[in-house]
Structure 1
Amino acid sequence: MDSFNLSPNILELQSTLHPLLKTLQISSTLESLKPSTAADGVAIVLFLLSAFGYLTRGRVWDRPDPFYKIYFERPQLADSEISNRTAATRNIAQKLEEGGFQVVIFWGSQSGTAERFAEALGRECHTRFGINALVADLSDYDADTIAEIQEKHFVAFLLSTYGEGDPSDNAAGFWDWVKRLQEQKTKLRNLRYLAFGLGNSNYKYYNRVLVIVVDALDAAGATALMPPQRADDARGANEEDFQSWKDNIFTLFCGMGYDQKSAAYQPTVNVEFGAGAHSEKDMIHQIPAHHQQSSTTSAIFPLPIRSARELFAAGDRNCIHMELDLGNTDIIYKTGDHIGIWPCNPDEEVERLLKSLALDDKRTCYLSVSPLDNSAKPKVPSGCTLQDALRHHLEICASVSRKTILDLAQFAPNPEAKTMLLELGQDRQRYEQFTSVTHITLARLLQLASPNETWSFLPLSFVIEALLALQPRYYSISSSSVISPRRVAVTALVVNKAITNETSSTIHGLTSNYLLSASKLPSNAAFPTPSFPHTALQPFEGGSVYAHIRKSKFKLPITSSTPLILIAAGTGFAPFRAFLTERAKLYTIGKPIGRMLLFFGCRSPSSDYIYRDELEKLQETLGDKLEIITAFSREMGNGKKVYVQDRVAEYGDKVLEMLDAGANMYICGKAGMAREVDEKIEDALMKTKGLDDGQVKAWVDGLKKRGKWRADVWG
């Protein structure tokens, strides 16, 4: 027997078949199972084979591969990198102890503002007070470990609110923990905290995230070191409100016994000029380096412009319909998604800043940019030219903050410039009065403070740190992915805001004017518009724009027979153009579609009634399936302006009837309009059903939780 060794597989097979054979009692029942026909024989064989296959699966055949997971591991990760990732703790209390940190500054950010503020606060804690601060993404740590933080440490929260009072994506885990605090009766008696919220008072749930977090922490026994403070982007006061909160924190630190040091400039990045000349063929450094592809956002691609047309029939404004070709990119969009357009800065502002810095002769020199500490995140990639940095990576057209004005004073080329900057930067009231009548970019400020001397001693690192990273501007896609899956339509109102002052200057909307220039359509404005360079891609004629797709929850219901209520003003109609054309296509091929009620508002039917011809054709196609109700604010009947929210109030009973019948309601446009629409519907609900405030809120919240009431709005 020693020479006859059964293999492990045969032994396993034997052990598997033994109970089967025993159960069937093969030896004693074969005669009784003797088939009477050939069909019976085949059936018995198939039964035995099926039983054999079932009982041996995973043992003899189709065995799991223990190394299957390797197929999903990135081979470029070295063993050391893997071990480092494994070793990184998600326990924030442990991280504070191991790193010798005195404070953790948590940020929850959707657009990057809260993150930027958190990084600035962390730097100044160190430079001014010698406080070792950890600036932390909320998603990098397990929220329940916040309860383990010792009393010798303290925590700062910078939390943004967007949409329907929602937290930022990176704060999802923290948000769930906050909501569980009361249920689990967690005690946070050792937690000392500071809190700052970012929101927009035009939205119904202004700074809701901050309010709920603070209430939960206080109820759990945490100690607020000072009252929480809220920023209001509706007033353009984010920077000022943050500065005020930060000043209060520094006063608190002084009261806690920390010595404040002089705030001399200390760069966080090293910037040097390298050798080489700019090549027009090198486009890689025109793509913003800080954009992160994720499950909700695609990579950035240069998308060729296939067509463009003007939507306004008259007036001194432009509204562009532009179609971009997705071509062979791996971008996929769905109806209702957003497109992020990455503009470049206009020629005039780039030239103005180069001249003010006395760096015109270095515009094509390559930059070497490297961080000087672990917390610094360079906004400009190494290897790009100075001109590309100013054109494609930094917000040089944004208004300068009061803190930046104060910090600039130490580099002033003459005493007069220094005095002017200090007076403007130290007085908030004077700064707000000045900026209310003057759009002051960095270049314009440098020229205003020192009209006859350049700022040749201003470090380029300071310029890069003081300016914000260039951000995309998002537009609701106005095409249907069902009808044009490889072509994206953008609907953009060109914004130009006049400022009443001695020079009658104008603030030009950066991205909308960039798109107007790229479209090669004539401007309807009565004043000159900015000029931009554009990328030409062969073999396509015309230019292209850099863009990416961002997923949205603003989607049509799965069932096409679900009724729709669509409420929009101006370019808020963009996603509804996609919704209606998709529904019309389904209708023409015989699919059942639900009734649709469209409210649309604009100034006048003769000037800015966008897509009017298309809507009339859709009305012909859909018949009584589509009802259009318009509101024109400049066509006043009886001396009264009519807005879309007024028409919603007028048809309140019909709106409620459709909602009760299962309709989905969508609102798109400015946040102020959306808030008033909400109020009109709630008023109608109280009047029609006799509900009180609490019942109305519960009814509305129920619709929103089920996805029957959605809004896609902006400030």
Structure 2
Amino acid sequence: MLILYGSQTGTTEAYAKIVHSFATARGLSPRLLVADDFNPDQLVHEGVVIFLTSTFYNGEFPSNFSRTWDYLRATTTSLPSTKFAVFGLGNSHTKVNFNAAAKVLDARLEQLGASRLIPLGLGDEQAPCGHETAFRPWIQHLWVKLLGGHGKMTLPVQFHISTPATDAVSVSRTLPGFDGFRVVSNTLLTPDGYERPTFLLTLELPAGVTYQLGDHIQVSYNNSSDLVERTASRLGLSLDSTIQLRPIGHGGYLPVDTPIKLEDLLRDYLDLSSPPSRSFLEGLSALCADPDEALALEQLAEDMTIGNLYSKYVGGNAAFRTPFTLVDVLELHPSIQIGLHHIVGNISLIRPRYYSVCSSPLQLPHHVQVVYMVDTWHCGNDPNKLFMGAAAGYMSRLVPGDIVTSSLSRGYFRLPTSLETPILGVALGTGISFFRALLQHRAYHQDQHAVVSKMRLYFGIRHAAKDFLFQNELQTYVNRGLLELVPACSHDSNEFVTPVTKLRDFPNSVAEYLDNQGVYFYCGIGGTIPYFHEAAIQTALQTVHKSTLGSEMETVDEMKVTGRWQVEAFSSCLDHENALQHQQKVQTKKEDTPISDVVGDCAMFCFQCGQTNQGIGCT
């Protein structure tokens, strides 16, 4: 059994590892590979191949699946002996591009003569339980097809763990393509005491490292001492103990065959901050000595109904807000008889977090700047218990001179070649990052006497006095004629004002920019939110042009095809660090109120959310 996956930010990889782990637990001998690490010429010799892939916003394959897809699309070699199954991870709000990569892959494999094991699975980020809504029945169907049933199973053992006689070796986690970036400053941008503190982190580039406008930076982080200590305590182990890992299969990026401290393993390698997957909870249920606890975990894992307990735990609902990490589950279910060997290899490694670089290399050639928000909150069931997101918490503790393990990568936006191209932009919260970098870039060219067109930017924030990020700097761009700034403060009045509101209120301004070959950029939370703005722009164009909504939908679709409509939208999957709060207060007398008008308690203005738990990133 071969499992091939394409994953840009880690989500699909996590699901592929679930398939691998529980195939192993069911007695199969699976191999797990990034799609482009496998020679596709050898597919003809494979008996069973399971494919998992995400889809980019415009229907493209992930970068680490692209060569494999190019081969499959071009080859004439048939696959008569190969059985396959495909699971896609997508977002139904991308309309025609929903799971486009998985769909064309599934169809092409059939064209090549391969036999479909089970129907194509289509994960939907917008489903009641996210991708799990489709993934759970899909994978159970797979076990039935392959094995005649799925039965009870336990967590597979991926590593032999021993206690060596030699002293532990100090190990530092190394990530391919990552370097040490020195912290220059870490400045608080919001007022002291604000519940959503936001920082500007300035990092010095390592020698020989450069970046481009619109790039992303990945930041690696460590688990908090609290999580590390609680996990060791629940396992009944001392943090000072020395262990040695010997992989049964592939060791991944863990320090294997080397004596190491348990504390180093828990702090630097294992992702202790993310909620356990449903499949992992299913495995934990088999380790319970108490039948009632086992049943509770099984129900927690299997219940896919709307409003189920698992979705509440991971959903960040303000009324239900409580940490739901591995150690939280273990502490809530004391009869789970678990050892370190059940954890290592079965939970994800710490994955670096993506952030948008908010500086221009023309202005800061030797430094990059990052804006991040720290969501700190008290537990709903224990007001004395304070929780802080793992990555942002780590970053907020950085001081000048610290070294941060980071890597720069190309962003998703493709900038117009001409500085005279008008730009219409929407930024939500820290989504201002890209626009600040773009304005710095344009200001530099203006200083060189270039002709630069104006940008109209709708900036969604909560409070003008608290989180109007870079207000003074933005005003300088206004004064220079580079920017028309339209702030939308959602929490400063009785009306919930968002950029959608402003787009609807001033349709002529929207048409002025887009009718003159302007480019639209959106930076912010994903899910349904980008489509609220898309609908508002379509309505604005319809009003000005006195046309039909259908014709303006075609206009926007054409802009997408030609690169004039670009969206960098991060997942709406909810988490504890930067949570999109779905507090949809639809009043009984206003049930037909558009959702864009009823998310008043929604902490949606946070560009980098959705990646912190579950590794979910750009759709």
Which of 367, 372, 375 aligns to 1:487? It is 367
Partner of 2:278: 402
User: Which residues in structure 2 correspond to 1:390-539 (within 5 Å)?
Assistant: 390-412=266-288, 415-416=289-290, 419-427=292-300, 428-429=302-303, 432=310, 435=313, 437=320, 438-450=322-334, 458-496=338-376, 500-501=380-381, 507-518=387-398
**Deviation of the 1:409 alpha carbon:** 4.6
**Is 1:627 matched with 2:520?**
no
**Is 1:566 matched with 2:425?**
yes
Taking the aligned partners of 2:362 and 2:28, their CA distance within structure 1 comes to 56
**Which range is displaced more, 571-580 or 541-550?**
541-550
For residues 387-441 of structure 1, what are the alpha-carbon distances to aligned partners after superposition, in whole Å with 9 as ceiling and x for unaligned? Answer: 11111111111112333334335555xx33x641343224523752773644332
**Deviation of the 1:514 alpha carbon:** 1.7
**Deviation of the 1:276 alpha carbon:** 5.5
The Cα RMSD (Å) is 3.4
In the superposition, relative to structure 1, how do residues 649 and 208 fare at CA in structure 2: closer, same or farther (>3 Å)?
Answer: farther
TM-score of the two chains, using structure 1 as the length reference: 0.70
For residues 334-393 of structure 1, what are the alpha-carbon distances to aligned partners after superposition, in whole Å with 9 as ceiling and x for unaligned? Answer: 121111111211111111111111212xx23444222212x4525345454211111111
**Retained in 2: the 8 A contact 1:269–1:378?**
no
For residues 55-77 of structure 1, what are the alpha-carbon distances to aligned partners after superposition, in whole Å with 9 as ceiling and x for unaligned? Answer: xxxxxxxxxxxxxxxxxxxxxxx
The structure with higher relative contact order (CA 8 Å, sep 6+) is 2
For residues 251-279 of structure 1, what are the alpha-carbon distances to aligned partners after superposition, in whole Å with 9 as ceiling and x for unaligned? Answer: 22344xxx878745542222223356568
**Retained in 2: the 8 A contact 1:566–1:598?**
yes
Partner of 1:213: 105
In the superposition, relative to structure 1, how do residues 691 and 131 fare at CA in structure 2: closer, same or farther (>3 Å)?
Answer: farther
**Retained in 2: the 8 A contact 1:324–1:487?**
yes
In the superposition, relative to structure 1, how do residues 251 and 261 fare at CA in structure 2: closer, same or farther (>3 Å)?
Answer: closer
TM-score of the two chains, using structure 2 as the length reference: 0.79
User: Which residues in structure 2 correspond to 1:331-410 (within 5 Å)?
Assistant: 331-360=209-238, 363-373=239-249, 375-381=250-256, 382-410=258-286
**Retained in 2: the 8 A contact 1:563–1:662?**
yes
Q: Which amino acid aligns with 2:143?
A: F
In the superposition, relative to structure 1, how do residues 485 and 127 fare at CA in structure 2: closer, same or farther (>3 Å)?
Answer: same
Partner of 1:292: 176
**Which range is displaced more, 317-326 or 304-313?**
304-313
**Is 1:549 matched with 2:408?**
yes
Q: Which amino acid aligns with 1:444?
A: D
**Retained in 2: the 8 A contact 1:337–1:476?**
yes
Taking the aligned partners of 1:144 and 1:449, their CA distance within structure 2 comes to 48
**Retained in 1: the 8 A contact 2:360–2:440?**
yes
**Deviation of the 1:615 alpha carbon:** 1.2
Equivalent pairs, count: 556
Taking the aligned partners of 1:683 and 1:213, their CA distance within structure 2 comes to 35
**Deviation of the 1:612 alpha carbon:** 0.7
**Is 1:249 matched with 2:142?**
yes
Which of 683, 690, 698 aligns to 2:539? It is 683
In the superposition, relative to structure 1, how do residues 141 and 444 fare at CA in structure 2: closer, same or farther (>3 Å)?
Answer: closer
Q: Which amino acid aligns with 2:158?
A: T
**Is 1:303 matched with 2:182?**
yes
**Is 1:708 matched with 2:564?**
yes
**Retained in 1: the 8 A contact 2:25–2:155?**
no
For residues 97-138 of structure 1, what are the alpha-carbon distances to aligned partners after superposition, in whole Å with 9 as ceiling and x for unaligned? Answer: xxxxxx43321222334334334434544552x545443432
In the superposition, relative to structure 1, how do residues 687 and 323 fare at CA in structure 2: closer, same or farther (>3 Å)?
Answer: same
Q: Which amino acid aligns with 2:362?
A: V
In the superposition, relative to structure 1, how do residues 357 and 135 fare at CA in structure 2: closer, same or farther (>3 Å)?
Answer: closer
Partner of 2:85: 194
Q: Which amino acid aligns with 2:283?
A: D
Partner of 2:590: none
For residues 284-342 of structure 1, what are the alpha-carbon distances to aligned partners after superposition, in whole Å with 9 as ceiling and x for unaligned? Answer: x333x4x332xxxxx2314223342333477322011121122x433211121111111
- Please give the secondary structure, in 2, of the residue aligned with 1:641: coil
Partner of 1:535: none
Partner of 1:8: none
User: Which residues in structure 2 correspond to 1:580-595 (within 5 Å)?
Assistant: 580-595=439-454
**Retained in 1: the 8 A contact 2:52–2:87?**
yes
**Deviation of the 1:469 alpha carbon:** 0.5
**Retained in 2: the 8 A contact 1:314–1:607?**
no
Taking the aligned partners of 2:339 and 2:294, their CA distance within structure 1 comes to 17
**Retained in 2: the 8 A contact 1:371–1:378?**
no
**Retained in 2: the 8 A contact 1:314–1:608?**
no
**Retained in 1: the 8 A contact 2:182–2:401?**
no
Q: Which amino acid aligns with 1:582?
A: H
**Retained in 1: the 8 A contact 2:183–2:201?**
no
**Deviation of the 1:498 alpha carbon:** 5.4
**Retained in 2: the 8 A contact 1:313–1:607?**
no
Q: Which amino acid aligns with 2:119?
A: P
Residue ranges of structure 2 left out of the alignment (5+ in a row): 315-319, 572-619
Q: Rg bigger for which structure?
A: 1
